[in-house]
Amino acid sequence: MADTKFTPRVFSGIQPSGGLTLGNYLGAMKRFVDMQNAGGFETIYCMVDLHAITVWQNPNDLKKNTRELCAGFIAAGIDPEKSILFNQSQVPEHAQLGWLFNCVARMGWMGRMTQWKDKAGKNAENASLGLFAYPALMAADILVYHATHVPVGEDQKQHLELTRDIAAKFNHDFGVEFFPIAEPVIEGAATRVMSLKDGTKKMSKSDPAEASRINMTDDADAISKKIRKAKTDPDPLPDSLTELDTRPEARNLVNIYAALAEITPQAVLDQHQGALFGHFKMALSDLAVAKLAPISTEMARLMQDQAEIDRILGRGAERARALATPILAQAYDIVGMVRS
C-alpha cells in the first residue's frame, strides 16, 4: 500500500550514459509518458548525471548524452510543462540528502546489492566509492521529493527495497514519520525487450552487434531493415502464448508488436495466427516505423537547438528545487544541523 499521507508523486531517473534503445523507450520512457498523461500524479523525471559518473564518462560525451536523453524524453512525449524534467546535478539537494543517507545506510546493505557485485566484480578494490554508495544517492533522488511511486525495471527492484529500508531507518532512528515508503512500479515481463538476434538476451546498447537493437535515433530505413533481418523461426504464429514459451525470438517480436500497438500479446496472436514471419515482420516493420520514426526525427530536430534544451533543463531544475529545498531543510533539522 502506498503511503496515503503524502501527495501522489512519481519519480524516476535514467542515466545519460548514451545509446537509447527500443528497450529504454518501451520499458521506461513510454511508461513515464503514460503516467504523466494519466493524471492523479505529479511526475518528475531526471537525467541522473551524478549516477553516470560512478563509472568513467568522457566529459564531452556526458554533456552530449545528457542533452540527447532530454531530447529523447521530449520526443517520446514528456511535456516539460506537465512533468518536471531536469538533470540531477542542477539540483544540489540530491547530493546533500545523499550524504545524510550515506550515514544512514549500512556497509552490509550496500555490499549485498547484486548490481554492485556484478559491476564491481572481482575488481571491487578498484571500483569507485561512488559506485558502492550509488543506491544511497538513488534513495535521495526519490525521497528528496517525498515521491510515492517509482517506475523502474526489474533490475532496480533491489535498489528500491534499499530506498525503503533507508526511509524506514531514518524515520525510526529519529522518531519521525518524515520519509514515505515509496512503491516500486515494476514493468511486466511483456515490456522487456530482447535482442533481435538472441531472444534470451536483453536488448542492449553495449551489444557489439548493431543489428541486435533498435536505437531511438534510428531512421525509418534502419528500423525496417533491422526488423526484417531479426532472427525468427520457420513456424507460423500460433494461436496461444504458451506455444511461444520455447520460441524466444518469436515471443520477443510479438511482445514488441503488442507494446507498440498498445494491445495484449494474445490480441496480437488473435490477429496474426497462422501468419509466417515474412508477413508478420512486414506488419511489425510498418507499425514500428509509424511509432518510432517520428520520435527519431523529433530528437534530431531538438538536438539542433542546444540552447533550447539547456533552457528546458534549467527551468525543470528550478521547479525541482522548489520542491526539494524545504524537504532537505526539514531533514537537516531533524538530524540536528544548525541553520543560522
Q: Which residues contact 48 (CB under 8 A, 6 or more apart)?
A: 13, 14, 15, 16, 87, 88, 138, 141
Catalytic site includes residue 231 = no
Q: Minimum CB separation from ligand TRP for residue 179, in Å?
A: 14
48 versus 253: smaller Cβ distance to ligand TRP = 48
Q: Minimum CB separation from ligand TRP for residue 69, in Å?
A: 12
Site of interaction with ligand TRP (CB under 6 A): 11-13, 15, 48, 51, 138, 141-142, 150, 152, 156, 159
32 versus 277: smaller Cβ distance to ligand TRP = 32
C-beta nearest to ligand TRP: residue: 13
Report the distance separating Cα 136 and Cα 144, nearest Å: 12
The catalytic position among 119, 169, 197, 231 is 119
List the end-to-end C-alpha distance of the chain, in Å, as a whole number.
39
Catalytic site includes residue 122 = no
Three-state secondary structure readout of 89-115: HHCCHHHHHHHHHHCCCCHHHHHCCHH
Catalytic site includes residue 119 = yes
Q: Minimum CB separation from ligand TRP for residue 327, in Å?
A: 15
159 versus 213: smaller Cβ distance to ligand TRP = 159
Laid out side by side, the sheet with 9-14 consists of 84-87, 42-47, 9-14, 149-152, 183-186
Grouping H, G, I as helix, E, B as strand and the rest as coil, residue 319 is helix
Contact 66, 49 (CB under 8 A): yes
The catalytic position among 63, 64, 205, 231 is 205
Q: Minimum CB separation from ligand TRP for residue 28, in Å?
A: 8
137 versus 237: smaller Cβ distance to ligand TRP = 137
The catalytic position among 64, 82, 197, 202 is 202
Q: Minimum CB separation from ligand TRP for residue 141, in Å?
A: 4
150 versus 244: smaller Cβ distance to ligand TRP = 150
Which amino acid, 311? R
Q: Which residue in the block uniquely carries the three cell numbers 493524471?
A: 39
DSSP conformation letters of 7-18: --EEEEEE---S
- Give the catalytic positions in this structure: 119, 202, 205
